[in-house]
Amino acid sequence: MSNNLEKMDSNLRQYFSSQKLLPILTVDEKEVCEDLANLLCESGLNTFEVTLRTQVSLEVISKMSSLGNFVVGAGTLISPSDVSSAIKAGAKFGVSPGITPELLDECEKHSFPLIPGVSTASEIMNAYLRGFKILKLFPADVLGGAKMLKALAGPFPECEFFPTGGINQSNANEYLNLTNVIGVAGSWMAPRELIKERDWSKIRKIVKMSDWKI
C-alpha cells in the first residue's frame, strides 16, 4: 500500500472511530447549513456526507466545513473533476456510488480519503487490490443486505463496509451487528424533503430514534 493510501485509510478510521451512522445530506438551499449541521451535532453526528446533487452542493460543503466543528465529506463523486471540486470546497473525505480507475487515481494523487462504491465481488477485488479496504456497498438492500455482507466476509476478510441504500432506523441494527460493517450511511436521518421544509423537529425526532447506534 502506498503512503498516500495508508494515510487515507487511517484518516477514514479516525473519522468513523466513534460514529457509526453517516447521514447523507442532499441540500437545496445553503441557508440551512448552520441549523442542519448543529442539529445533527446535538446528537453526536458531527461527520456527514453532502451529495453533489444540487446547484449549491459545493457551497454547502464549504459553508459547513467553515463552521469548524464538523467533518464534512462529499458524496456522489463520479468524475475526477468532482474530486478536485470537493477538495477545493473543503471536503475531508469522499464517497462514490461506484469505481473507475480515474476516480481512484485522482483521490490517491491528492491523498483524499475515499469510500468507493462497490456492488459485486469483482468490484471489491478492483478496489481492494488498489489498497481501498473501506468500501460502500451500494445499493445494499437491493443487493441482498446483511446476507450479502455475511457472504462477502469469507473471501474479503480485510474489507470493511458502509452499507448504503435502503437503510433506515428499523434495519440499521441488522447491518451494524455484522463484523465487516464499519458503519451505515443513509438519507433517512435527514431526508431531502424535510431539509427543504426546514422541519428541524421531525429530523431531530428521527435522529433521536437512531441514537442507539451513534
- How many residues in the shown chain lie near ligand 3PG by CB under 6 A? 11
Site map (CB under 6 A) of ligand 3PG, residues 110-149, x = contact: ----------------------------x-----------
Work out whether 164 is an interface residue with ligand 3PG (CB under 6 A): yes
Nearest to 36 by CA among 76, 74, 75, 63: 63
Closest among 185, 190, 132, 191 to 163, alpha carbons compared: 185
What's the CA gap between 185 and 210, in Å, rounded? 12
Give the bridge partners for 136, in sequence order.
Answer: 117, 162
Please identify which residue in 5, 21, 24, 83 interacts with ligand 3PG, judged by CB under 6 A: 24
Contact call for residue 75 and ligand 3PG (CB under 6 A)? yes
Q: Is 7 a catalytic site residue?
A: no
State the Cα–Cα distance between residues 8 and 48, nearest whole angstrom.
17
Query: Could you tell me if 94 and 61 are in contact, meaning their C-beta atoms sit under 8 angstroms apart?
Result: no
171 near ligand 3PG, judged by CB under 6 A: no
Determine which one of 20, 30, 49, 106 is catalytic.
49
Q: How far apart, in whole angstroms, are the C-alpha atoms of residue 165 and residue 186?
A: 6
Using CB under 6 A as the binding rule, whether residue 165 contacts ligand 3PG is answered as yes
Residue 163 as a binder of ligand 3PG (CB under 6 A): the answer is no
Q: How far is the CB of 76 from ligand 3PG (least distance, A)?
A: 6
Point out the catalytic residue in the list 20, 63, 133, 136.
136
Please state, in angstroms and rounded to a whole number, the distance separating the CA atoms of residues 131 and 184.
21
Question: Could you say whether residue 187 binds ligand 3PG (CB under 6 A)?
Answer: yes
Cell 479496504 belongs to: 133
The C-alpha angle 104, 106, 111, rounded to 5 degrees, equals 90
Q: Which residue number, 65 or 187, has a Cβ lying nearer to ligand 3PG?
A: 187
- Residue 94 or 165 with smaller CB distance to ligand 3PG: 165
Residue 158 annotated among the catalytic residues of the structure? no
Q: Which stretch binds ligand 3PG (CB under 6 A): 32-40, 61-69, 164-172, 205-213?
A: 164-172
- On the 0-12 / 13-18 / 19+ scale of CB atoms within 10 A, 45 is buried
In the DSSP assignment, the letter for residue 97 is S
Active site residues: 49, 136
> What residues make contact with ligand 3PG under the rule CB under 6 A?
24, 51, 75, 138, 164-167, 186-188
